[in-house]
């Protein structure tokens, strides 16, 4: 028995129709020509596949981006937002496009800006997580009980994916992939092979400066090699805007080059015998110095690459 819903009366989603040339390549909503009141927003990227964008906390505005896939056997969500009210917004946006229940939530990034709203997901959803991220969340919860927000803790029955796991949900095959340690060490991606769509979460930051607080710089570069080698038609970033397919491929490549550039600059300074504190002030990131978060994330990136070069990164 299927109920008919008055979908025609609902504002469902915008679509990505702008041509590749007309899109301003930036994570900044104002430079992009958008208004702050345009967010949060739902974008239909393919039949039954959507992204949801809401702003990250802080003065510098850029989006945290989630993906959801609707099937006649329920909905899979890749990543949440950073607070319970914001993830509630995501859950409500899903309810506007489908009456299907949320079945799976993939924790692609274990960071709070993607998990601290998880209490807003319905009880009984199955979480999917990499074992390293499970350990990270459990350590954080032990150190600071209630950190998960709204009393949320990773349920004991969470499904662990350490390499790859294929799910069949309705007519959709959904592959959960670990492309290697990148931004968190437990980075999962969600691939829709039939549609050639790859949600990369924080392995791909679209025009946001490489954020390395918990990163593995050299392994992250290898994960980006693997992502590009998959030749998806659409790559979706965990931060920054949802792009059209052709732009998303160019921007993933651009992000890859930014990562290489930042790592190379840190290596150059390290090789020249510059101390890490001096390297932080001397580093020149060129064009990437204009990217969102460069002022706060540049020094963190230099310190992380030095840590790796000095053999202190495990
Ligand atoms: Zn994040």
112 Cα: distance to centroid of ligand 1 (angstroms): 7
4 Cα: distance to centroid of ligand 1 (angstroms): 37
Q: What's the pLDDT score for residue 2?
A: 42
| Torsion sign over Cα 235, 173, 97, 129 | negative
Strand partners, 71: 74
Q: What is the CA radius of gyration of the chain?
A: 19
- pLDDT: which is higher, 13 or 121: 121
Q: What's the pLDDT score for residue 314?
A: 86
Q: What's the pLDDT score for residue 7?
A: 37
The residues near 139 (Cβ < 8 Å, ≥ 6 apart) are: none
Q: What's the pLDDT score for residue 8?
A: 35
The answer to pTM > 0.85 is yes
- Cβ atoms of residues 84 and 119 within 8 Å: yes
How confident is the model over 232-256, as a mean pLDDT?
98
The residues near 310 (Cβ < 8 Å, ≥ 6 apart) are: none
54 Cα: distance to centroid of ligand 1 (angstroms): 12
d(CA 120, CA 33): 31
How confident is the model over 69-76, as a mean pLDDT?
98
Euclidean distance between the first and the last CA atom of the chain, given in angstroms as a whole number? 54
3 Cα: distance to centroid of ligand 1 (angstroms): 38
274 Cα: distance to centroid of ligand 1 (angstroms): 30
Residue that the structure tokens 């909905």 belong to: 75
How confident is the model over 191-209, as a mean pLDDT?
98
Q: What's the pLDDT score for residue 206?
A: 98
- Cβ atoms of residues 183 and 237 within 8 Å: no
Residue 149's pLDDT band, with cuts at 50, 70 and 90, is confident
- pLDDT: which is higher, 151 or 311: 311
Q: What's the pLDDT score for residue 168?
A: 97
214 Cα: distance to centroid of ligand 1 (angstroms): 11
**CA 10 to chain CA centroid, nearest Å:** 27
- pLDDT: which is higher, 159 or 21: 159
Strand extents, DSSP E, the chain: 14-15, 41-46, 49-55, 63-71, 74-78, 102-107, 126-129, 159-160, 164-169, 172-177, 189-192, 197-205, 234-239
Residue 20's pLDDT band, with cuts at 50, 70 and 90, is low
> Per this entry, what is the length of the chain?
314
Phi, psi of 275 (to 5 degrees): -65, 160
The tens digit of pLDDT for each residue in 22-49 reads 899 999 999 999 999 999 999 999 999 9
252 Cα: distance to centroid of ligand 1 (angstroms): 16
Q: What's the pLDDT score for residue 196?
A: 98
Q: What's the pLDDT score for residue 175?
A: 98
How confident is the model over 254-279, as a mean pLDDT?
98
List the structure tokens of 108. Answer: 């692609």
- Cβ atoms of residues 109 and 183 within 8 Å: yes
114 Cα: distance to centroid of ligand 1 (angstroms): 6
d(CA 17, CA 10): 20
d(CA 149, CA 171): 34
Residue 21's pLDDT band, with cuts at 50, 70 and 90, is low
Q: How far is CA 10 from CA 13, 41, 300, in A?
A: 9, 14, 44
List the structure tokens of 178. Answer: 């670990």
């Amino acid at each position: 028995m299927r109920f008919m819903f008055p979908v025609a009366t609902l504002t469902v989603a915008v679509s990505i129709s702008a041509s590749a040339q007309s899109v301003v390549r930036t994570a900044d909503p104002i430079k992009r020509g958008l208004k702050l009141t345009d967010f949060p927003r739902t974008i239909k990227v393919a039949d039954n596949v959507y992204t949801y964008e809401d702003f990250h906390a802080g003065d510098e505005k850029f989006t945290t981006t989630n993906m959801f896939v609707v099937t006649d056997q329920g909905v899979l969500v890749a990543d949440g937002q950073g607070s319970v009210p914001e993830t509630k917004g995501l859950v409500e946006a899903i309810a506007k496009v489908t009456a299907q229940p949320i079945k799976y939530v993939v924790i692609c990034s274990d960071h709070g800006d993607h998990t601290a709203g998880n209490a807003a997901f319905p009880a009984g959803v199955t979480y999917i997580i990499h074992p390293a991220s499970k350990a990270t969340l459990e350590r954080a919860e032990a150190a600071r009980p209630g950190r998960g927000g709204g009393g949320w803790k990773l349920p004991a029955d969470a499904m662990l994916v350490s390499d790859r796991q294929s799910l069949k949900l309705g007519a959709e095959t959904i592959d959960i992939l670990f492309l290697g340690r990148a931004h968190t060490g437990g980075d999962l991606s969600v691939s829709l092979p039939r549609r050639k769509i790859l949600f990369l979460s924080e392995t791909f930051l679209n025009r946001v400066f490489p954020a390395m607080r918990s990163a593995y710089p050299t392994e992250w570069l290898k994960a980006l090699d693997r992502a590009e080698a998959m030749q998806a038609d659409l790559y979706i970033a965990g931060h920054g805007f949802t792009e059209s397919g052709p732009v998303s491929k160019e921007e993933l490549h651009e992000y890859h080059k930014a990562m290489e550039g930042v790592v190379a600059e840190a290596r150059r300074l390290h090789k020249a015998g510059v101390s890490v504190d001096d390297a932080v002030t001397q580093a020149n990131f060129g064009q990437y110095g204009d990217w969102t978060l460069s002022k706060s994330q540049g020094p963190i990136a230099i310190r992380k690459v030095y840590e790796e070069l000095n053999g202190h990164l495990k």
